[in-house]
């Protein structure tokens, strides 16, 4: 597997870049959400949810992992809350 196998997405709002994300394959039919960012001026408008929905619709994985490397601002979220949901709540 290589970077060429990544599913990459750039979100736009009114024709301007609003955020980006990618899924990187780590094994057959297993991917990792390799990063997601919504630019500060676009946060709060549902961009993260749209990015994740588009990635999930495009990816052909049975399992998708997300390993956060930064501090999550919303520490009130329970362990059942997925990383994708956290990303949406932080950057949405």
* Model pLDDT for residues 53-74, shown as the tens digit of each residue: 888 888 888 888 876 655 444 4
Q: Rounded to whole angstroms, how far apart are CA atoms 79 and 55?
A: 23
Task: Supply the pLDDT for residue 83.
Answer: 53
Question: What values do phi and psi take at 48, rounded to 5?
Answer: -60, -45
Domains of the chain (ranges; CATH) run 3-91 (3.40.630.30)
Task: Supply the pLDDT for residue 60.
Answer: 83
Task: Supply the pLDDT for residue 19.
Answer: 92
Residue 55, classed as helix, strand or coil, is: helix
pTM above 0.75, yes or no: no
pLDDT tens sequence across 1-26:
555 788 889 999 999 999 999 888 98
């Amino acid at each position: 597997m290589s970077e060429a196998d990544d599913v990459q997405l750039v979100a736009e709002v009114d024709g301007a870049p609003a955020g980006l994300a990618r899924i990187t394959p780590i094994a057959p039919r297993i991917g990792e959400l390799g990063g997601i960012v919504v630019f500060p001026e676009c946060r709060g408008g549902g961009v993260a949810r749209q990015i994740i929905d588009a990635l999930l619709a495009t990816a052909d994985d049975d399992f998708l992992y997300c390993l956060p490397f930064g501090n999550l601002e919303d520490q009130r979220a329970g362990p059942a809350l997925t990383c994708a949901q956290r990303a949406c709540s932080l950057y949405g």
